[in-house]
Amino acid sequence: MQLFVFAREQAFDGLAIETAAERQHLVPGEMDIYHRRNLDGSGERAHFSLANLVKPGTFPFDAMEDFSSPGLALFTQFEGLPSDLMVYDELVRTARALADELGGDLRLQDRRPFDDTAWEDLRGELLELINARADALAQGSEPTDADAPSSRS
């Protein structure tokens, strides 16, 4: 899943990105991008990550005062676990907060606005994935990618 925060008029200032990321409990990490882990610091795997839209997608953490970006990408990969719903809701809340604080627009991969309808549609697709995984496990098999519903995002 991917959501994008696009700058409206001028690129986001690096220090503003850094401050907004910190407020949303996103921490610098592997691959020179931000990650959201458990708020208590536990957990090896990031729940979701934040990258720069400009290739290679990294942030110059030691030089954010000289940095700017036209947009940000928040992303994660769901596994069909019930906890994915919490991660989805937190990713969306974080993306909305970043867009508000930075003065950006929240969009889907195809650049359509991420509105309440998109939120409901994607959450419905995630529920289908969770149900497909649960059904496969109940039948004694691990689900495959073919069992997952198609995703538009």
Quick one: CA torsion of 7, 10, 11, 14, rounded to 10 degrees? -110
pLDDT in tens, the chain (153 residues): 999 999 998 999 999 999 999 999 999 999 999 999 875 555 567 899 999 999 999 999 999 999 999 999 999 998 888 889 999 999 999 999 999 999 999 999 889 999 988 889 998 898 998 888 888 888 877 655 544 544 444
Q: Which residues touch 113 (CB under 8 Å, ≥6 apart)?
A: 105, 106, 107
pTM as predicted: 0.83
CA max distance for the chain: 55
What is the gyration radius of the CA atoms in the chain, in angstroms? 16
For residues 71 and 5, is the Cβ–Cβ distance under 8 A? yes
Residue 19, token pair as written in the block: 């401050």
